[in-house]
């Protein structure tokens, strides 16, 4: 048995909602050849394996494949490592060094939008039309459907569909919010998903980079049987 922290990343301000994330703080105990099977079994949109806690060296997997970079795994893992007393200034996924810091109750990271999945950004007529979607617009396999709730204030309503990795609808997607902020060239607050997660994204002063941040809550610490997932009995 090993322990997996189950987090909810990009919660609403009252602590509800958020995107589930599995984090194995002692990821080095799980052989690299077993990690995809574990992530598939866990079934969250992403699962993180921390190979070096002090250096914040990590691997990310979605249910189908390794992921070089993604927003909610970086924000959630940065928050969790800080809870262990390490205060990472830099996270190290496969894509490269990712700056990480805290602003009040929010954890923020900085990266290039093109490090993450290449989301199709689809403008919809109104928030009500976004709410009414029963499938990804146009059958796209990686799509962010969005509309302005309050354009002057930068408030966006969005839903994200990630069928390419076996996730019908993602509750909160940092990489998609980063791509939308870069596309719009402005700071935004995204109300995402059917449970109203909150993702904040902004254009960085560093050219080509955007930033994404939000609140994280811990759901549980779960004993996880790696052998069950991998069939290695």
pLDDT tens digit string along 26-44? 999 999 999 999 999 999 9
Radius of gyration of the chain (CA): 17
Q: Are residues 186 and 222 in the same domain?
A: no
Q: Are residues 28 and 93 in the same domain?
A: yes
Res 233: pLDDT = 52
- The better pLDDT of the pair 157, 1 is held by 157
Mean pLDDT value across residues 186-197: 97
Mean pLDDT value across residues 143-166: 97
Res 230: pLDDT = 79
At 49-105, the pLDDT tens digits run 999 999 999 999 999 999 999 999 999 999 999 999 988 899 999 999 999 999 999
As for how many domains the chain has, the answer is 2
Q: Which domain holds residue 196?
A: 115-214
Q: Are residues 6 and 60 in the same domain?
A: yes
At 99-141, the pLDDT tens digits run 999 999 999 999 999 999 999 999 999 999 999 999 999 999 9
CA distance 214 to 193: 15
CA distance 6 to 52: 19
């Amino acid at each position: 048995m090993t322990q997996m922290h189950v987090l909810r990343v990009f919660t609403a301000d009252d602590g509800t909602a958020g995107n589930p994330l599995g984090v194995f703080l002692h990821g080095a105990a799980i052989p690299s050849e077993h990690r995809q099977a574990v992530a598939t079994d866990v079934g969250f949109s992403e699962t993180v394996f921390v190979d070096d806690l002090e250096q914040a060296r990590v691997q990310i997997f979605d249910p189908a494949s390794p992921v070089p970079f993604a927003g909610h795994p970086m924000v959630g893992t940065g928050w969790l490592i800080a809870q262990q007393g390490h205060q990472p200034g830099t996270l190290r996924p496969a894509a490269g060094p990712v700056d990480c810091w805290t602003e009040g109750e929010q954890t923020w990271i900085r990266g290039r939008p093109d490090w993450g999945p290449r989301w199709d950004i689809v403008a919809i007529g109104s928030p009500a039309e976004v709410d009414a979607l029963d499938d990804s617009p146009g059958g796209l396999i990686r799509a962010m459907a969005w509309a302005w709730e309050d354009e002057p204030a930068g408030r966006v309503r969005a839903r994200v569909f990630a069928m390419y990795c076996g996730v019908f609808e993602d509750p909160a997607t940092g990489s998609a919010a980063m791509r939308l902020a870069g596309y719009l060239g402005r700071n935004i607050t995204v109300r995402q998903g059917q449970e109203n997660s909150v993702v904040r994204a902004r254009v960085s002063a560093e050219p080509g980079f955007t930033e994404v941040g939000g609140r994280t809550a811990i759901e549980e610490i779960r004993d996880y049987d790696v052998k069950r997932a991998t069939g290695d009995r």
